Amino acid sequence: GENVEQHPSTLSVQEGDSAVIKCTYSDSASNYFPWYKQELGKRPQLIIDIRSNVGEKKDQRIAVTLNKTAKHFSLHITETQPEDSAVYFCAATDSWGKFQFGAGTQVVVTP
Partner 1 sequence: ETGVTQSPTHLIKTRGQQVTLRCSSQSGHNTVSWYQQALGQGPQFIFQYYREEENGRGNFPPRFSGLQFPNYSSELNVNALELDDSALYLCASSHDRGSYEQYFGPGTRLTVT
Tell which residue, 25, 34, 5, has the closest CA to residue 67.
25
Q: Is residue 49 involved in binding partner 1 (CB under 8 A)?
A: yes
Residue type, 63: A
Q: Is residue 74 involved in binding partner 1 (CB under 8 A)?
A: no
Query: Closest approach of Cβ 44 to partner 1, in Å?
Result: 5
Q: Is residue 89 involved in binding partner 1 (CB under 8 A)?
A: yes
User: 3-class secondary structure for 10-75?
Assistant: EEEEECCCCEEEEEEECCCCCCEEEEEEECCCCCCEEEEEEECCCCEEEECCEEEEEECCCCEEEE
Q: Is residue 95 involved in binding partner 1 (CB under 8 A)?
A: yes
Q: Is residue 83 involved in binding partner 1 (CB under 8 A)?
A: no
Q: Is residue 58 involved in binding partner 1 (CB under 8 A)?
A: no
- List residues near partner 1 by CB under 8 A: 6, 32, 34, 36, 42-46, 49, 51, 89, 91, 93, 95-104
